Amino acid sequence: MSEAPAPDAIVLRVDARQCDIARPEDLNASKPALLRGRLFEGNTEDRMPVAVGDHVRLTESDDGLAVDEVLPRRNTFARRASGEEIQRQLLATNFDKLVLVTSFGTPSFSSIMADRILVAASFAGIPVALVINKTDKAKRGKIKKVIATYENAGYSVLCTSAEKEEGITELSNLLRGKISVLYGLSGVGKSSLLNCLEPGLGLRTKEVSSSLKSGRHTTTFARMWPLEMGGAVIDTPGVRVFRPWGIPPHELRLHYPEMLALGSGCHFPDCTHRNEPDCAILSALETGELPASRHRSYIEMMEELESVYGGTGENPA
Ligand SMILES: Nc1nc2c(ncn2[C@@H]2O[C@H](COP(=O)(O)OP(=O)(O)O)[C@@H](O)[C@H]2O)c(=O)[nH]1
Ligand SMILES: [Mg+2]
Ligand SMILES: [Zn+2]
């Protein structure tokens, strides 16, 4: 059987044994490609060695295209996979911006969930924007408090309503010309926002979700969609649990921008902001300068990371 190299491509979608790929200059021309068994060999860290956004080397044979090799990644966004083993689940790679979509109403805003994802983006070195959707579902005061918490922490925050078509121009400005990942709980309005943004694209995402609904065991898959205005978005299935991957516990505090700034006032340079004396973070909590929700999510994640990665992670055995 003849086998010849084919031009490198970008992965648009991945399922158990196969993926969809396209040449970077025409992301609309998607083709299926098999995943070679050797991609799985010797990789115990990842549940699935290929992710949306990967640049891959291909070969073409009578069986069609096959992925031979994943080229070096410029970044990876991942979480800890569910299950007994400590494994990484790659969510997307090689992209410019993570757009964390949250909402009021249903589902309601979860600061714990938001903070977990923001920390993971920071750990991956990926710029992030926070979108608060369904602003038509909440009182002004409630929204204002959330905006203040995250703007004061140093994040860029955008309020939208897909229902009232508010904030859509600002959202296009955020996405234009870049590769972005839309990430957040199921039902926050990711697909609806995409519909508002580019009706043609919205139709395609709708088709995808209805076909997946009718499938068996519907594991849903992330998918990259090229945007007419330039750039692309990776629409992701709803997430219910988000456990950060690979963050050494003592580094967690570096991924809360406002705590990093305030923490320079702590007595101990390696203060974990839990019960140390003269802790600037605990003082800021008392005065209300640091919102309780931010410290709460920090403590929760810290305990989780310590139980997974052991101790404070500072003196690995
Ligand atoms: N009231 C209101 N409902 C919205 C808004 N955006 C989306 N929805 C509704 O929320 C539900 C879930 O939206 P969908 O786009 O499928 O969420 P996804 O799972 O994040 O893609 C749908 O019934 C939408 O009509 C909004 O801004 N305001
Ligand atoms: Mg959706
Ligand atoms: Zn401290």
Q: For residue 106, which ligand has an atom nearest its CA?
A: 1
In DSSP terms, 181 is beta-bridged to 98, 234
Distance 236 CA to ligand 1 centre (A): 14
Q: Look up the pTM and report it.
A: 0.91
Please give the chain's pLDDT, 317 residues, in tens: 688 999 999 999 998 789 999 999 999 999 999 999 889 888 889 989 999 999 999 999 998 999 999 999 999 999 999 887 889 999 999 999 999 999 999 999 999 999 999 999 999 999 999 999 999 999 999 999 999 999 999 999 999 999 999 999 999 999 999 999 999 998 899 988 988 998 876 544 443 444 444 333 333 678 999 999 999 999 888 788 899 999 999 999 999 999 999 999 999 999 999 999 999 999 999 999 999 999 999 999 999 999 988 765 454 43
195-to-26, 30, 165, 191 alpha-carbon distances in Å: 22, 21, 10, 6
Structural domains for the chain: 3-72 (2.40.50.140), 78-235 (3.40.50.300), 249-309 (1.10.40.50)
**Cα–Cα distance for residue pair 57/54, rounded to 1 Å:** 10
Q: What is the dihedral of CA 168, 169, 170, 175, to 10 degrees?
A: 90
Q: For residue 100, which ligand has an atom nearest its CA?
A: 1
Which of 165, 192, 225 has most ligand 1 atoms within 8 Å of its beta carbon, as the pocket-test mutant? 192
Which atom belonging to ligand 1 lies closest to the Cα atom of 194?
15
Q: What single letter denotes the amino acid at residue 57?
A: R
Which atom belonging to ligand 1 lies closest to the Cα atom of 161?
27
Token pair of 151, please? 């703007």
**Which residues line the pocket of ligand 1, CB cutoff 6 A?**
105, 133-134, 136-137, 161-163, 186-192, 238
Distance 246 CA to ligand 2 centre (A): 28
Residue 174's Cβ-side half-sphere holds a number of Cα atoms within 13 Å equal to 27
Distance 278 CA to ligand 3 centre (A): 7
| Atom 8 of ligand 1: nearest residue by CA position | 189
Q: What single letter denotes the amino acid at residue 75?
A: N
Distance 297 CA to ligand 3 centre (A): 15
DSSP 271: -
